[in-house]
Structure 1
Amino acid sequence: MKFYNINYHKEKKTFSQALQQGLGINQGLFFPEYIPKLNNKTIENILNLNFIDKSSYILSLFLEKEMELNILNKKIKKGFNFPLIFNIFDKNLACLELFHGPTLAFKDFGVRFMAQMLKFFNKGKKNKIIILTATSGDTGAAVAHAFYNIKNIEIVILYPYKKISILQEKLFCTLGNNIKTIAIKGNFDDCQKLIKKSFNDQELKQTLNLNSANSINISRLLAQICYYFEAFSQIPLDQRKKKIIISVPSGNFGNLTAGLIAKVMGLPIHKFIAATNINDTIPRYLNLKHWEPKKTISTLSNAMDVSIPNNWPRIKKIFQTNNWNLNLLESKSITDLETTQTTINVFNKYKYILEPHTAVSFCALKKYILEKNTFNIFLGTAHPAKFKEYIYNTLHKKIMLPKILTNCIKKENLSYKLPNNFLVLKNFLIKNYII
């Protein structure tokens, strides 16, 4: 299968080429030339597989002849070496918990698959890959841990200074070795702009082998398709014929893009809800049909503090290619006050602890619909322990920290601090990576 550049359709790459290049000409995102369509019988067979075999089959449709199925299966088994939990609350309500990986966030799925793929396709090559990526909270830790100590791959992570939680920061800023972290004096959108400028700079292109591990990388996107099929397979059989509604916490919109691809493939999902915080570019766009990003505002759900979602061009392409009306996509904007009230309400009713991103997802779902003829799923994207102060202040409950957090909390923060200035970042990269 070929992957084409959305901004320059003549540029077409194989999976391994798109994986290693990251962005195309004119900062274009790579996207499959076609999305495989599966009939009902094939989907039924896939749903009966275990998660590793299910994921291997789905991803083999996109990799085709680039990797043998048995090798792909081994790589996925190594990458997805943690549980995915489907937590049913009521007869027609469930949470898909995606935060049981090594860095306690859903990003572990996409990034660990990417790491395994890059390690495989870069094997035997002498030149180093420099992965330059931005994080609004969870991506940084997932990338750092997935690529830690992998030979010939260097990681540079940008994040907004003092705009992520201390525990989030400690998870990826304390590793060292092939991991460098930079606190940028700005917001997440500023970090993303610096990344894009770096990929567009001719001198850096010619001197550094740059790549990105953000959700702009096609490998991360493809990996996330898998857990939508797994979620559907966990729905009780007597509920599967109902309208399936999935609420997705949305910042950069990679998670939602993967879900939409699953729907195109034939997974019978009735509707997606793009749940955002008050950084509401997409809800306003869907309501008013006018694209007007505003300045990014810091919220409790900090990993979703994004005003210009990178994956929106891919979502538009999905709707155009399939002749779908954008009205098929629902989007709700949730305030911090609503987030906190939802956290309290869910704990009081279910004795279940939500962190802010998952609370946004639940609240958006409740705002939309919870009828008898629907089965409703909200995605849990981060472990509550990463927001223990928020949980304590909101619910007066102390959360035991998982081992990975207790191991890193006392370690030294090794981050650099740089201004929101591209030339300063460029000089940093040249100084550190051009020998």
Structure 2
Amino acid sequence: MRYVSTRGGAAPVGLSAAIAAGLAPDGGLYVPEAMPRVSRPARDGYLAGTAMHMLEPFFAGDALAEELGAICAEAFAHPAPRRELRIDGAHLLELFHGPTAAFKDFGARFLAACIVRTRRHDAPPLTILVATSGDTGAAVGAAFHGLPGVRVAILYPDNRVSPRQAHQLGSFGDNVRALRVEGTFDDCQRLVKGALSDPALQADVPLSSANSISLGRLLPQMAYFGHAALQAGEPMNVIVPTGNLGNAVACLWAREIGLPIGEVVFACNANGTLPEFYGGMPYRPRDAVPTLANAMDVGSPSNFERLRHLFGDETTLRASGRAESVDDAAIRDVIRRHAASDGEVFCPHTATGIRVFEKLRLAGDRRPWTIAATAHPAKFEAVVEPLTGRTVDVPEALQAMLSREPYAEPMTVDTRAFGAWLRAW
């Protein structure tokens, strides 16, 4: 299997090279040269086994192919249960049982397992760059913390993540450093893309990415959607809370390779780039606006390039799914109402998915739906607890991170300043 750039200006490469690079030399994102089709895995298998079966064709011909079983065992060591809600026809796909209580633990652990297996012992340190709107940075920090030959720089928008998210991001130390950027997530993303696209900087400081632009993050996220669809026993309709579109693209790729996934709807917050496009308006990226579902505060989703590459023309792309906006008032209402009526406590991001499900029901859609629960509500206690009137229990792994003293360095939105910081490190 070879991988090409979404922009068509880079030579095809193997999987290991695509993962190591993060971004293609022409600034595009790596995608399979041709999307494979896979036979349906066993329904009663383990998540790691389903992942291995689904990902085998993506690893074909690469040096990492022989390690795929071990990589999947490391990345999928925690569960992703699909459980029925006390709402007619709704299931929750719980993706928050990993070490940082967010779905991004799966992709981050998978990426780390791949990178440590491709690094030469005598190679200079590889610096992983990750822009985060909340959850990605902690997952990547936890996955790479203490690994030899690898460093991680986490960039997050100052004062635009929850207090517990900020604490997590700055809690690692050692080979993981956090930068609080004076701007938005999109500014953080621009700094990362600028660094990855700078040949002179790359010559001085070998760089790669751990955002959802990385294949090493995106490919494993296909697995839990495929596994859940097999458990559903029929084509599974999915609602995916999304910001930068990584998890949503992974779900669509899983459907494309042959897993029994039906309709896919993107649940967005008040950032309207995707809902406007799917509603028939031109694609118009813009600066993000802050919301309660802060990890989805993205106005220029990077993975839109992968959607365009997969579906080609805009008519076909719009027919591939839907996107719905959910504002902060509706997020608050969902959290408050369900805590009172059925005892369910949702994080603000999962709440956007629940609200989209309710809108589908109001429009007469009676089909079963599965909502991806992207993070544990304990990560957003400042939002959730006042609305529910109760304390949210903190998972043990998250509590261990919160017990450490955090530290984050300030950074301006200046590519030269960021490059100088990287060189100094």
TM-score band by shorter chain is over 0.9
Moved more, 90-99 or 362-371: 362-371
1:60 aligns with: 56
Of 74, 78, 97, 1:78 maps to: 74
SS of match in other structure, 2:159: coil
Structure 1 pair 373/359, CA: closer, same or farther in 2 (3 Å)?
Answer: closer
Confirm whether residue 224 of structure 1 aligns to residue 217 of structure 2: no
1:351 & 1:140 partners in 2: Cα distance? 30
The aligned counterpart of 1:428 is: 421
> Residues 373, 291 of structure 1: CA spacing in aligned structure 2 closer, same or farther, 3 A cutoff?
closer
Q: In the alignment, what sits opposite 1:346?
A: 338
Structure 1 pair 68/151, CA: closer, same or farther in 2 (3 Å)? closer
| 2:404 corresponding residue in structure 1 | 411
1:296 Cα deviation after fit: 1.3
Q: Is the 8 A contact 1:286 1:331 kept in 2?
A: yes
Q: Which ranges of structure 2 fall in alignment gaps of 5 or more residues?
A: none
Aligned to 1:304: 296
2:83 to 75, 87, 92: 87
CA distance in 2, matches of 1:116, 1:285: 36
Say which of 163, 168, 172 aligns to 1:171.
168
Whole-Å Cα distance in 1 between the matches of residues 314 and 76 of structure 2? 31
Bigger drift between 214-223 and 284-293 goes to 284-293
Contact 2:99/2:398, CA 8 A, preserved across alignment: no
Q: TM-score, normalised by structure 2?
A: 0.95
Q: Identify which of 327, 333, 355 aligns with 2:347.
A: 355
CA contact (8 A) 1:56 1:69 kept: no
Match of 2:376 among 357, 377, 383: 383
Counterpart selection for 1:111 from 108, 112, 133: 108
* Equivalent position SS for 1:367: helix
Larger mean CA deviation between 287-296 and 179-188 belongs to: 287-296
1:278 aligns with 2:270: yes
1:163 to partner: Cα distance: 0.8
Q: Distance in 1 between matches of 2:287 and 2:268?
A: 15
1:377–1:293 CA distance, 2 compared to 1 (3 A): same
Contact 2:308 2:317 in 1 (8 A): no
Q: For 2:314 and 2:51, how far apart are their aligned partners in 1?
A: 24
Is the 2:48–2:77 contact (alpha carbons within 8 Å) kept by the matching residues of 1? no
Give yes or no for contact 1:47–1:229 (8 Å, CA) kept in 2: no
Question: Which residue of 2 is the match for residue 28 of structure 1?
Answer: 28
- Name the stretch that deviates more: 396-405 or 220-229: 396-405
Instruction: Indicate the residue corresponding to 1:335 in structure 2.
Output: 327
Q: CA deviation at 1:322?
A: 12
Looking at structure 1, the residues matched to 319 and 403 of structure 2 have their Cα atoms a distance apart, in angstroms, of: 48
**1:324 aligned counterpart, secondary structure:** helix
Question: 1:48 Cα shift?
Answer: 3.4
TM-score, normalised by the number of residues in structure 1 = 0.93
Whole-Å Cα distance in 2 between the matches of residues 230 and 91 of structure 1?
22
> What's the counterpart of residue 13 of structure 2?
13
1:153-172, aligned counterparts within 5 Å?
153-172=150-169
Which residue in the other structure is 1:146 paired with?
A: 143
Find the aligned partners of 1:10 and 1:302 in 2 and give their Cα distance: 34
Say if 2:340 and 2:388, in contact at 8 Å, map to a contact too.
no
Aligned counterparts of 2:317 and 2:407: Cα–Cα separation in 1: 47
- 1:126 matched to 2:123? The reply is yes
CA change 1:67–1:366 in 2 (3 A) is: farther
- The answer to whether structure 1 residue 264 and structure 2 residue 256 are counterparts is yes
Q: RMSD in angstroms over aligned alpha carbons?
A: 1.9
Q: Tell me the distance in 1 between the aligned counterparts of 2:320 and 2:75.
A: 33
Instruction: Confirm whether residue 246 of structure 1 aligns to residue 238 of structure 2.
Output: yes
Whole-Å Cα distance in 1 between the matches of residues 52 and 164 of structure 2?
33
**Matched letter for residue 170 of structure 1:** H
CA distance in 1, matches of 2:338, 2:359: 14
How far apart, in 1, do the equivalents of 2:307 and 2:317 lie?
Answer: 12
Measured after TM superposition, the shift of residue 229 of structure 1 is: 1.1
Offset from partner CA, 1:94-116 (integer Å, 9 cap, x none): 00000000000000011100000
C-alpha separation in 1, matches of 2:201 and 2:112: 23
Amino acid at match of 2:397: I
Cα distance, 1:91 vs structure 2: 5.5
**How far apart are the structure 2 equivalents of 1:221 and 1:125?**
28
Identity %: 30
